[in-house]
Amino acid sequence: MILIHCPYCDEKRPEIEFAYAGQAHIARPVDPDSYSDEEWERFLFIRANPRGRHHERWRHSHGCGRFFNAVRDTVTDKFETTYKAGEPRK
Amino acid sequence: MSGYRLPAGGRVDRNKPVSFTFDGKSYQGLAGDTLASALLANGISLFGRSFKYHRPRGVLAAGSEEPNALVSVLRGPGRFTPNLRATNVEIHDGLTATSQNRWPSLKTDFGAINDRLGMFFPAGFYNKTFMWPRSFWDRLYEPAIRKMAGLGDAPTEVDPDTYAATYAHCDLLIVGAGPAGLDAALEASGTGKRVILIDEQDEVGGGALADPALWAWLERSVKALNAAANVTILSRTTAFGYYHNNFIGAVQRLTDHLPENSQAPREKLWRIRAGEVLLAQGAIERPLVFDGNDTPGVMLSSAARIFANRYGVAVGKSLALMAVHDSGWHDVFALKKAGVGIAAIIDARDDIDEALQAEAAALGIAVHLSHSVIGVKGRHQVAAIEMCANGSDVRRTISCDALLMAGGWTPSVHLWSHSKGSLKWRDDLGAYVPDQPNENCRSIGACSGDWDFGKGAVFDVLPTPKDQARIKAFVDFQNDVTANDINLAVREGFRSIEHIKRYTTNGMATDQGKTSNLNGLQIASTALAKAVPDIGLTTFRPPYTPQTFGALAGHAKGALFQATRTTNIDGWAEENGAIFELVAQWRRARYFPKFGEDMHAAVNRECRAVRGSVGIFDASTLGKIEVVGPDAAEFLNRMYTNPWKALEPGRCRYGLLLKEDGFITDDGVSARLAPDRFHLTTTTGGAARVLNMMEDYLQTEWPDLNVWLTSTTEQYAVVALQGPNARKLLEPLVEGIDLSAEEFPHMAIREGHICGIPTRLFRVSFTGELGFEINVPTAYGRALWERLMADGAEYGITPYGTETMHVLRAEKGFIIVGQDTDGTVTPYDAGLDWAVGKKKPDFVGRRSLARPDIVAAGRRQLVGLLTEDSKMVLEEGAQIVADTNQPVPMTMIGHVTSSYWSETLGRSIAMALVANGHAMKGETIYVPMPEGTHKAVISSMVFYDQEGARLHV
Ligand SMILES: [Zn+2]
């Protein structure tokens, strides 16, 4: 069972306290109507599937409840870092 | 074989005889014996039959790597454990053990015919033979294979034992309490670190237990560790898996070794998080591969030494050694000194240490260098061995009753590999050893390849003048894989060791190849003419040894398997005969049968009561979210399809929630209590999901909005009072709220008191009748319910359950998200256009409603169905076709989502998703069901009171 560092609680906690929430840094457009069908499709459905570093969102569901971002290696399953939502991509 | 108890020696208690049975026959052993050592001491050599060929098998090893001597132990009704290694079963008075894989008896086994037919059962036999014809599989092949195959018998009764579980945290976890592990623990005991030392055996010491010279040291060490407050020793505990971030799973066996079944937990699952892990699991001796190497009495050299030194048991009267490693010589010297007869040392190597040869000579042991064993005489036990000088055909027979194999050592890298540590190949050991760690972990002692057993050579198969294709030289004893099987796999084109493993099943038995993986690799390496590191190594996976389901399940069984949520009113429902159903994790009353009614009769009566007078329903499970803050209305406006900003405090609105893809995900009636405060309701199953989704948008997309979300689902008990007499019943009980139609219209909320209890009183209806949903603090739910039941008696108040709720809402065409929608239904598909704010610039899912596939024609749309035969209730989920004359498979244009008998209407009603359904009102469609095809007409979804006159009273 992985330990995940919650950047809000500033603690490493077992993964059962957390929920995965998909790829990170995909902002909802401010004006969705300005998106073409193709752009909207990319926003809705198209996600990266890297071998290695992956930017993803997690939620400390059974802790502080905050969503945050993480960089996890999809091969080793190791977390490189976690950081608060809104902070620049690491 | 003719094993016997040595007159002295061993760690068994010679003053404590123990009685047990094996295959129904009584035997005596000594306290401290395993089942294997006790049976060997009784002269037993035949322990079981092999898996595929049913060949007679004895004991190969002395520890948990044992592949052959698998037994079943019965500890009373329901307490049956198959596939235990006799070398790990501690005997106690009354132990009842039986052998496996034999019928009718161990000595006479019909399945052994497989062995005679061995040439017809090569690698991949099942894959090749039972492919066709397909019809033979069910009738012939599978029943026959099932009868013959299978390892042991599965228990048939419920396990009455209990199992415990715990978490533990430590700075240093040491796995394996042999000399290396004990030394490490002693060193750490002085540091103040929290140390846990785990060992799978009943006694710590590992290899030292078979070396009397170390016993004094062992005793001192264990005493010192027991005295150290920071050290916890867990014996009879198997670390079975090594997971991320130094998380180790271990099972401690607590009661199986005790004579009486106790009420104490049988086993305990330890989940250990360690700062550092030291692996000191030791090494496992490798068998040698030659014709007849599976005959009972052929065993690992180290095992014979352990049986003699630890248990005081000689495995035979005259032992021969077949060695390619010095360690075997040391074993034989120790055995000879313990009084065991040694027939000969045979070593396949030419060049042996002078000192070893001198010691053999001094002990009077005959030595044959550059010789190999090429055959074994005896079926149920070794009677003699045949040997031959390497490279010649000069054969010679040596009488003996046991043959020891010293094939070298394989470091136990199982847990290291679980942790994803890398391995490197060492040619000198002919083995993989730990290389780079992936966790904060070190491997020490023999499991790191660091040992003082001497030198050895690596042989894949021992040299033999016999026809290689006709010999039975076993590699994997448990799965009956021979060297020939591996060679055949290579000949048939398999190149990767992972493929060879799966094709031959080498290493895939319950022992996971502890004694076979390396020999299999060597043989494949020779056959492929490739170095071992170039063909790789198969993956090790948890568990290290098989563990019980009981230990892994722990408390999570029966009622504790999953939490059941109950409302404050649940007890009343139970006392009043409710039949329950689980909705999400909630236990909800489905209906309240009276006087032996079936569900149909009860639901009809409940429906009549609601439409005719008043019904009462426990709606407490509705999800509730309190949305508070200056931007609350703006937030809801962005989340839901409907407009919220203009909603007056004191009024309610039906809210429809989409996912960003435009499909309906939840709905519910919500109320505005104040400009900055809303009381949201969600579906029973959707509460957590909706809160998560709202938090997501609030925290990450619109963090500028000043809004707080709080789950209040369990803060309120909700009693729905529905029916034309609902107001009359409620009025005398309510304070501070004017219930008149003018002051308190449909879709309104008021705060006040009921029976003195503070309430949020909703005037809402999911039935189409005049209705109220009374929210009170949860603890008052049942009190309020009982008061309403008492006061409602004059109106014939009737409690109803979820089934009636479903029928009543369907009569009104109200959808249930998740039943009438399936994650592909848009508001338009569901006929809920009216709930979409056309003037809103944005809301979650809005842009998707303009996606090409969403606006395309032919989408499945929600409609009503009226069957031609009004008594016919369609099956929910039944498919719909337009034309029954088309050839099979027909084009399916939709399916039934909801279907009920409507007592109110005296006929069946249904809802369905039908392609272009909205434009098909009045058209006939067909619903094929198992007993025949039914005709139905597409109708409006609102079957009752279309103008809503009953609501607005
Ligand atoms: Zn947190």
pLDDT above 90 covers a percentage of chain B that reads: 87
Q: How far is ligand 1, taken at its centre, from the CA of residue A68, in Å?
A: 9
The answer to whether B50 and B61 have CB atoms below 8 angstroms apart is: no
Taking only the tens place, the pLDDT of each residue in B738-785 is 999 999 999 999 999 999 999 999 999 999 999 999 999 999 999 999
The CA R_g of chain A, rounded to the nearest whole Å, is 14
Helix (H, G, I), strand (E, B) or coil at B534: helix
CA torsion B128-B134-B139-B144 (nearest 10°) is 10
Q: Mark yes or no for CB contact B245/A77 under 8 Å.
A: no
The answer to whether B347 and B40 have CB atoms below 8 angstroms apart is: no
Task: Give domain limits for chain A.
Answer: 1-25+50-90
Task: Write down the pLDDT at residue B642.
Answer: 95
Chain A CB contacts of B661 below 8 Å: 44
- The complex's ipTM? 0.98
Q: How far is ligand 1, taken at its centre, from the CA of residue B659, in Å?
A: 26
Q: Mark yes or no for CB contact A85/B245 under 8 Å.
A: no
Which CATH number belongs to the domain containing residue B230 in this structure?
A: 3.50.50.60
B894: alpha, beta or left, given left = phi > 0 and alpha = psi -120 to 50?
A: left
**Facing B245 at nearest CB: one of A2, A21, A27:** A2
DSSP β-ladder status, B615-618 and B798-799: parallel
Interface of B with A (CB under 8 A): 243-245, 247, 271, 273, 420, 438, 660-661, 692, 695-697, 699-701, 703, 841-842, 846-848, 851-852
Task: Write down the pLDDT at residue B1.
Answer: 46
* Gap from A50 CA to chain B (nearest CA, Å): 20
**Facing A3 at nearest CB: one of B245, B697, B700:** B245
For residue B381, is it within any domain?
Answer: no
For residue B530, is it within any domain?
Answer: no
Which of B431, B452, B473 represents a domain boundary (last residue)?
A: B452
Supply φ then ψ for residue B575, to 5 degrees: -65, -25
The residues, ordered by sequence, that sit 6+ positions from B775 with a Cβ below 8 Å of its Cβ are: B679, B716, B717, B718, B759, B760, B761, B762
- Amino acid making up residue A48: A
| Host H or E run for residue B405 | strand B402-406
Taking only the tens place, the pLDDT of each residue in B852-902 is 999 999 999 999 999 999 999 999 999 999 999 999 899 999 999 999 999
**Facing B699 at nearest CB: one of A1, A44, A85:** A85
Which CATH number belongs to the domain containing residue B30 in this structure?
A: 3.10.20.440
Chain A CB contacts of B273 below 8 Å: 3
Reply yes or no on whether the pLDDT at B126 is more than 60.
no
The answer to whether B233 and B204 have CB atoms below 8 angstroms apart is: yes
Which of B758, B785, B812 represents a domain boundary (last residue)?
A: B785
Enclosing domain of residue B949:
857-953
The answer to whether B771 and B720 have CB atoms below 8 angstroms apart is: yes
Chain A CB contacts of B625 below 8 Å: none
The answer to whether B892 and B931 have CB atoms below 8 angstroms apart is: no
Residue to mutate among B167, B169, B245, with most A CBs inside 10 A, is B245
In the block, which residue shows the tokens 């309240």? B592
Chain A CB contacts of B695 below 8 Å: 59, 65, 67
Taking only the tens place, the pLDDT of each residue in B216-232 is 999 999 999 999 999 99
Q: Mark yes or no for CB contact B842/A67 under 8 Å.
A: no
Q: First vs last Cα of chain A: how many Å apart?
A: 24
Q: Closest Cα to residue B256, out of B35, B15, B49, B62?
A: B35
The answer to whether B807 and B815 have CB atoms below 8 angstroms apart is: no
Is there a cis peptide before residue B7, judged by omega within 30 degrees of 0? no
CA pair distance B319, B4, nearest whole angstrom: 13
Taking only the tens place, the pLDDT of each residue in B640-661 is 999 999 999 999 999 999 999 9
For residue B303, is it within any domain?
Answer: no
DSSP B392-454: S--EEEEE-SEEEEE--EEE--HHHHHTT--EEEETTTTEEEE-S-SSSEEE-GGGGT---S-
Residues B97 and B222 in one domain: no
Residues B659 and B753 in one domain: yes
Q: What is the mean pLDDT of residues B581-593?
A: 96
Q: Closest Cα to residue B419, out of B400, B403, B442?
A: B442
For residue B532, is it within any domain?
Answer: no
CB environment B484-522: b (16+ within 10 A), e (fewer): bbbbbbbeeebeebeebbbbbbbbbbbbbbbbbbbbbbb
Helix (H, G, I), strand (E, B) or coil at B202: coil
Q: Closest Cα to residue B443, out of B427, B425, B421?
A: B421
Q: How far is ligand 1, taken at its centre, from the CA of residue B310, in Å?
A: 53
Residues B643 and B775 in one domain: yes
Q: Mark yes or no for CB contact B243/A27 under 8 Å.
A: no
Task: Write down the pLDDT at residue B469.
Answer: 86
For residue B428, is it within any domain?
Answer: yes
Tell me B684's DSSP state: T
Helix (H, G, I), strand (E, B) or coil at B642: coil
Chain A CB contacts of B243 below 8 Å: 1
Chain A CB contacts of B247 below 8 Å: 1
Q: How far is ligand 1, taken at its centre, from the CA of residue B201, in Å?
A: 41
| Host H or E run for residue B934 | strand B932-939
Chain B CB contacts of A44 below 8 Å: 660-661, 848
For residue B402, is it within any domain?
Answer: no
Task: Write down the pLDDT at residue B131.
Answer: 53
Q: How far is ligand 1, taken at its centre, from the CA of residue B280, in Å?
A: 37
Taking only the tens place, the pLDDT of each residue in B232-264 is 999 999 999 999 999 999 999 999 999 987 789
Residues B94 and B180 in one domain: no
Residues B646 and B760 in one domain: yes
CA pair distance B837, B755, nearest whole angstrom: 39
Q: Mark yes or no for CB contact B699/A67 under 8 Å.
A: yes
Chain A CB contacts of B245 below 8 Å: 1-3
Helix (H, G, I), strand (E, B) or coil at B222: helix
Q: Mark yes or no for CB contact B842/A32 under 8 Å.
A: yes
Reply yes or no on whether the pLDDT at B64 is more than 80.
yes
The residues, ordered by sequence, that sit 6+ positions from B804 with a Cβ below 8 Å of its Cβ are: B591, B603, B606, B607, B610, B615, B617
CA pair distance B281, B477, nearest whole angstrom: 22
Chain B CB contacts of A40 below 8 Å: 847-848, 851
Distance of CA B533 to the CA centre of its chain: 33
Residue to mutate among B436, B639, B700, B838, with most A CBs inside 10 A, is B700
Chain B CB contacts of A32 below 8 Å: 842, 846-847
Residues B646 and B739 in one domain: yes
Size of interface A-B (CB pairs under 8 A): 52
Residues B274 and B418 in one domain: yes
CA pair distance B846, B848, nearest whole angstrom: 5
Supply φ then ψ for residue A49, to 5 degrees: -140, 65
Residues B184 and B252 in one domain: yes
**Facing B700 at nearest CB: one of A31, A37, A85:** A85
Record the pTM: 0.89
Averaged pLDDT of chain B: 94
DSSP B268-281: EEEEEEEEEEEE--
Which segments of B412-542 are extended strands (E)?
423-426, 431-434, 441-443, 474-476, 481-482
Taking only the tens place, the pLDDT of each residue in B451-503 is 888 899 999 999 999 998 889 999 999 999 999 999 999 999 999 898 999 99
> CA of B700: which chain A residue's CA is closest?
A85
Task: Write down the pLDDT at residue B689.
Answer: 96
- Please state, as a whole number, how many other Cβ atoms lie within 10 Å of the Cβ of residue B706: 14
Query: Of B86-90, B123-127, B214-218, B769-773, which gets the smallest average pLDDT?
Result: B123-127
Task: Write down the pLDDT at residue B120.
Answer: 53
Domain total in chain B? 4
Reply yes or no on whether the pLDDT at B402 is more than 50.
yes
- Please state, as a whole number, how many other Cβ atoms lie within 10 Å of the Cβ of residue B649: 13
Reply yes or no on whether the pLDDT at B147 is more than 70.
no
Residues B24 and B95 in one domain: yes
Helix (H, G, I), strand (E, B) or coil at B314: strand
Taking only the tens place, the pLDDT of each residue in B157-185 is 999 999 999 999 999 999 999 999 999 99
pLDDT above 70 covers a percentage of chain B that reads: 95
> CA of A84: which chain B residue's CA is closest?
B700
Distance of CA B307 to the CA centre of its chain: 36
Q: Closest Cα to residue B377, out of B408, B402, B412, B344?
A: B402
Chain A CB contacts of B641 below 8 Å: none
Which of B117, B145, B171 represents a domain boundary (last residue)?
A: B117
CATH tag, A1-25+50-90: 3.30.2270.10
Which CATH number belongs to the domain containing residue B762 in this structure?
A: 3.30.1360.120
* Gap from B193 CA to chain A (nearest CA, Å): 20
Q: How far is ligand 1, taken at its centre, from the CA of residue B586, in Å?
A: 28
Interface of A with B (CB under 8 A): 1-3, 19, 21, 27-28, 31-33, 35, 37, 40-41, 44, 57, 59, 61, 65-67, 76-77, 85-86
For residue B596, is it within any domain?
Answer: no
For residue B934, is it within any domain?
Answer: yes
